[in-house]
Chains A and B, each alone.
Chain A
Amino acid sequence: MDLEEYTLIKDITIGQYFPGKSVIHKMDARIKIILTGVFIVMLFSADNLVGLGVGIAFTALIFLISRIPGKMLLKSLKPIVPIIIFTAVLNIFFIRTGDPYFEWRFIKITDEGVDTAVYMVVRILCLIAGTSLLTYTTSPIDLTDAIERLLSPLKKIKVPVHELAMMMTIALRFIPTLIEETDKIISAQKARGADMENGSLIDKAKALIPILIPLFVASFRHAEELALAMECRCYHGGEGRTRMKQLRLGILDLWGSLFCIAFLAGVIAVNHLI
């Protein structure tokens, strides 16, 4: 691992929260999760180009409101480019109904195929852009908190919602600690002469073993001590627990919801009218 890679491992950001002060940042995380659902419904209920246009306009609008830089948007879309190409190719070549544009031996491209491909590509792009906006504008803690509260009705059927949320919080908390520890172990093993750059893929995989084993041992030790410290601070499960930060629905959340629902209604109206 060269120096550049070495520093990289330290700079990994948790989640992809992009702190800001926009209206979307300030909205309640619970509402944002629900509205993301509404957004997905909106995208997939659009069945003509105008409806799709409304979906695109909505995505663009929320991005503008959130003031997330376009660079971040591109970054979130980059990993899914192969999936998009794959979907597009699949749709173009395998939908054989409709009027053919082009035919050569077994290859047949129809207008329906091209249409479906365009719809799918636009939907996926908007979907990824919209959902990553949720993680860009909501801190991981708020997100876990919101998930805990949204899922809390499931406690009635004995789903350990609090425990799951606590596990997520602790996992988030320990990511930087474990990364730091990995760095230390790598340096320690290198100082003992471990070779991690050279050799075949199998050699490189083998070189990981002396890093992973101490890391595992260390995380068990962390877990044990953390459990003890939590007990010392009166932790006894989710029962009777209060929270310092109260999630409160504000006027902003109402407007946000109305805004979203208006667009959904717009898409449905367009479907019926055209």
Chain B
Amino acid sequence: MENFIEIKDLHFSYINEMEEPPVKTEVLKGIDLSIKKGEFVAVLGHNGSGKSTLAKCINAINLPESGAVYVDGMDTIDEDNLLPIRQRVGMVFQNPDNQIVATIVEEDVAFALENMGVPPAEIRKRVDEALKTVGMYEYRMHAPHKLSGGQKQRVAIAGIIAMRPDCILLDEPTAMLDPHGRAEVMKTVKMLNSQGVTIVLITHYMEEAAQADRVVVIDGGEIIMDNVPKKIFSQVEVMKNLGLDVPQVTELAWELKKAGCDISTEIISEDECVEKLYEMLK
């Protein structure tokens, strides 16, 4: 499989112009990362680790200070690539209220397509398709502010998938939702991934990261771990030192192992845990 996103020695700093002299804060310190088409990558890191900044570098909101970011072979630094890149890489943010532009659900889903200059009949078709994909078709004539958080976030996702992107970046899409809304969004994300959409999910919830194909851990602007979820979460102590959690079941296995039980810590799902516990107790 070819690399859809290719990041090479990426450096990025925020410059605070309000101070005198301007204060420069280096957020990303040499990131090398490649993501293949169709992959589901979770990005972990505590607040201020640079994970959101990284996501904004991928769809050319932030431009690299040095190094380079390529999306589908296009360099983000080239201004002519701006719209094609944003069409290929959609981004969903944390607060659903702040990304809905229109006063009616279907108008909002159509927003990106209208910007892209898609003919009206085609917009209609794609909007209906996108709303059906996220299961919000019955709500197409509703006002967004009357929907629940999970529903709003699904509308926001529909607005992105209507562009038919190859990749969706989700920046803590579930952080402001209740457990029910979180489950709705994660189901949608997994379904999109199964249809071949590349997913980059930034999250604080380890149970969500455990569902990915690959987990990338960022700390202090550098990638410090990049592996399958099992290999990442089994290093419980390393994760805890980074200020990150592990899924509850992994922690349970780890505590049991510490107490002297013969159990692997490479457990990330409840079913696995039940199975291993059963074996151990047999």
Contact = CB atoms under 8 A, between A and B. Distances in A.
Contacts of B145: 176-177, 180
B117 A141 contact: no
Which of A14, A226, A242, A245 has the most C-beta atoms of chain B within 10 angstroms of its own C-beta?
A242
A233 B86 contact: yes
Interface stretch (A29-37, A151-159, A165-173): A165-173
13 contacts: A173-B100, A173-B102, A221-B98, A228-B61, A229-B98, A229-B101, A234-B116, A241-B114, A241-B115, A244-B110, A244-B113, A244-B127, A245-B107
Contacts of A226: 98-99, 101
Interface in A207-254: 221-222, 225-226, 228-236, 240-246
In order of increasing CB-CB distance, the 6 nearest A-B pairs are A229-B99, A225-B98, A233-B112, A176-B145, A244-B110, A244-B123
Interface in B161-196: 163
A242 B111 CA distance: 9
A211 B239 CA distance: 41
B262 interface: no
B110 to A, nearest CB: 4
B231 interface: no
A244 B114 contact: yes
B118 A141 contact: no
Given A180-B145, A228-B61, A244-B110, A234 B93 contact: no
B225 interface: no
Contacts of A170: 101
Interface of B: 59, 61, 83, 86-87, 90-91, 93, 95, 97-104, 106-107, 110-120, 123-124, 127, 143-145, 156, 159-160, 163
Contacts of B107: 141, 244-245
Nearest to A227: B98
A244 B115 contact: no
B228 to A, nearest CB: 29
B83 A236 contact: yes
Contact of B59 (A232, A235, A245): A232
A236 B114 contact: no
Nearest to B123: A244
B54 to A, nearest CB: 15
A140 interface: yes
Given A176-B145, A234-B83, A141 B104 contact: yes
A225 B95 contact: yes
Contacts of A233: 86, 90, 101, 111-112, 115, 159-160, 163
B127 A222 contact: no
Given A226-B98, A228-B61, A234-B86, A240 B117 contact: yes
B127 A234 contact: no
A146 to B, nearest CB: 15
Nearest to A14: B103
B91 to A, nearest CB: 4
A234 B86 CA distance: 6
A61 B46 CA distance: 66
A246 B114 CA distance: 12
A45 B210 CA distance: 74
Given A231-B61, A234-B115, A242 B100 contact: no
Given A180-B145, A235-B115, 15 more contacts: A141-B103, A141-B107, A170-B101, A176-B145, A225-B99, A229-B156, A230-B101, A231-B61, A233-B111, A234-B87, A242-B118, A244-B113, A244-B120, A244-B124, A244-B127
A172 B112 CA distance: 19
A180 B146 CA distance: 11
Contacts of A235: 111-112, 115
Contacts of B61: 228, 231-232
B93 A225 contact: yes
Contacts of B116: 234
Nearest to A243: B114
B112 A141 contact: no
Interface in A105-159: 140-141
Contacts of B118: 242
Contact of A242 (B93, B99, B102, B119): B119
